[in-house]
């Protein structure tokens, strides 16, 4: 039997109460953690990450594993270091055990990243956990290492072996080796541009109704979108963003274009799964606009940004988004949406008029 992970669900809409207590949905297209102002959270599909890093490696002809790992584990450490009270709790062995059991394991499940079960934990010596359904194995492992580097306040080495399909036993130990994790990562959250979104919310818990179709499967450590059967996760506003920023510094802008492309492909599939488009014929003007508005209307509930204008061009479309969670991912989202609805290949360009306000123009190509 899976342990009960929640303080229960909202009696009105069924949304997990722990999640609605910890997060706030703002009127500017962002979600932030209640305990930490300006700390951004996003709900995103996991599927577009599948094969993304392998694809980047194939295109560039070099291994990026190390870079991805460092960026992600360091981002995780920075996250915990900035959490009020976390450092204090981690000074005591009891606090460490508590953090592992009720912090890390629950957080992993709550965010839909993976299911984590502690098999053994001796503070300062060894931690062994079974990880099931990691959203992406390398990133999941680097998050665990980053979390333990914070907890033990020293470099951590790790190893893993496959236990059964989608299940891994991961072992972490302090290592005397000085970590060469880059210190350059900082939490950078630009202030969000104000918005006036007035979405339909549950009167009891305040969560946007657009999220009613999400289902937490605690025993599997995943969150499913009931409409499409696909998986989403909640991540801090640093995941993927930090990794790709570091990759772009080392490898050039090309990596960002691969990110756009992976998201474009996923979005085409997503739009189809949502039934916003059927057949091979382009939609009529009214239907087309409605489909655009439906898809864009959901983005704020996911914390992905605030689409403020939609302009149908002849040909093409122009969309301004305030506070996009990640501007390359948003470029891929809008490009994929265009291609799915207009049934044609495309090119996307964007311009950031002022920080946080990005205008995307997508045209047939």
User: If you count DSSP H runs as helices and E runs as strands, how many of each does the chain have, helices first?
Assistant: 11, 14
| CA distance to 53, 73, 276, 330, per residue, from 315 (Å) | 34, 44, 20, 20
β partners of residue 113: none
Return the number of the residue (10 or 128) whose C-beta is nearest Zn ion. 10
81-84-87 Cα angle (round to 5): 50
- E strands, the chain, are 23-25, 31-33, 40-45, 115-122, 126-132, 156-164, 167-174, 214-217, 222-225, 230-236, 306-313, 316-322, 346-354, 357-364
Least Å distance, CB 52 to Zn ion, is 34
- The residues pairing with 351 across neighbouring beta strands, listed in sequence order, are 359
Ramachandran angles phi, psi of 168, nearest 5°: -135, 145
Interface residue with Zn ion among 65, 184, 204, 293 (CB under 5 A) is 204
- Piece of 11-19, 31-39, 230-238, 346-354 that binds Zn ion (CB under 5 A): 11-19
Q: CB of residue 270 vs Zn ion: minimum separation in angstroms?
A: 25
CA 25 – CA 31 distance, rounded (Å): 5
User: Which C-beta is closer to Zn ion: that of 204 or that of 290?
Assistant: 204
The one among 205, 259, 317, 329 contacting Zn ion by CB under 5 A: 205
For Zn ion, the binding residues in 235-254 under the rule CB under 5 A are none
Stretch that binds Zn ion, among 152-160, 178-186, 204-212, 213-221 (CB under 5 A): 204-212
Please identify, using beta-carbon distances, which residue of 143 and 202 lies nearer to Zn ion: 202
Binds Zn ion by CB under 5 A, chosen from 5, 6, 10, 81 = 10
Candidates 24, 79, 49, 36; CA nearest to 332 is: 49
CA distances in angstroms from 360 to 255, 332, 343, listed in the order given? 19, 10, 18
> Among residues 12, 54, 125, 344, which is the contact residue for Zn ion, using CB under 5 A?
12
Count the residues of the shown chain that bind Zn ion, applying the rule CB under 5 A: 7
Applying CB under 5 A, does 13 fall inside the site for Zn ion? yes
Q: Which two tokens stand for residue 163?
A: 């236990």
Question: Which stretch, 14-22, 162-170, 175-183, 271-279, contacts Zn ion (CB under 5 A)?
Answer: 14-22
Q: Which of 108, 192, 202, 239 binds Zn ion (CB under 5 A)?
A: 202
SS3 state at 327: helix
At its nearest, how many Å lie between Zn ion and the CB of residue 2? 23
Given the rule CB under 5 A, which of 13-21, 36-44, 239-247, 279-287 is the region that contacts Zn ion?
A: 13-21
Residue 213 binds to Zn ion (criterion: CB under 5 A): no
CB-wise, 14 or 316, nearer to Zn ion? 14
Binding site for Zn ion (CB under 5 A): 10, 12-13, 15, 202, 204-205
């Amino acid at each position: 039997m899976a342990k009960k992970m929640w303080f229960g669900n909202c009696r009105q809409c069924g949304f997990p109460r722990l999640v609605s207590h910890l997060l706030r949905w703002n009127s500017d297209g962002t979600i932030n953690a209640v305990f930490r102002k300006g700390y951004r959270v996003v709900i995103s599909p996991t599927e577009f990450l599948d094969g993304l890093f392998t694809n980047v490696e194939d295109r560039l002809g070099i291994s990026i594993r190390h870079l991805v790992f460092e960026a992600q584990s360091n981002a995780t450490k920075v996250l915990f270091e900035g959490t009020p009270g976390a450092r204090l709790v981690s000074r005591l062995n009891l606090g460490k055990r508590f953090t592992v059991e009720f912090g890390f394991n629950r957080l992993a499940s709550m965010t839909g990243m993976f299911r984590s079960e502690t098999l053994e934990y001796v503070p300062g010596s060894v931690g062994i956990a079974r990880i099931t359904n990691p959203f992406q194995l390398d990133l999941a492992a680097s998050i665990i290492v980053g979390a333990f580097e914070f907890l033990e306040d020293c470099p951590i080495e790790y190893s893993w072996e496959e236990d059964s399909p989608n299940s891994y036993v991961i072992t972490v130990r302090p290592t005397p080796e000085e970590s060469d994790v880059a210190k350059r990562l900082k939490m950078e959250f630009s202030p969000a541009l104000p918005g006036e979104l007035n979405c339909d919310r549950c009167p009891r818990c305040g969560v946007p109704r657009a999220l009613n179709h999400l289902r937490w499967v605690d025993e599997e450590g995943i969150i499913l979108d009931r409409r499409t059967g696909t998986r989403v996760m909640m991540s801090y506003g640093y995941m993927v963003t930090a990794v790709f920023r570091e990759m772009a510094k080392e490898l050039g802008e090309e990596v960002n274009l691969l990110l756009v492309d992976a998201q474009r492909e996923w979005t085409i599939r997503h739009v189809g799964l949502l039934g916003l488009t059927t057949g091979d014929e382009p939609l009529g003007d009214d239907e087309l606009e409605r489909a655009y508005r439906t898809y864009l209307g959901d983005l704020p509930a996911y914390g992905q940004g605030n689409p403020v204008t939609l302009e149908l061009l002849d040909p093409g479309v122009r969309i301004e988004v305030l506070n996009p969670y990640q501007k390359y991912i948003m470029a891929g989202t809008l490009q994929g949406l265009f291609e799915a609805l207009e049934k044609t290949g495309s090119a996307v360009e964007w311009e950031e008029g002022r920080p946080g306000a990005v205008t995307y123009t997508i045209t047939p190509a």
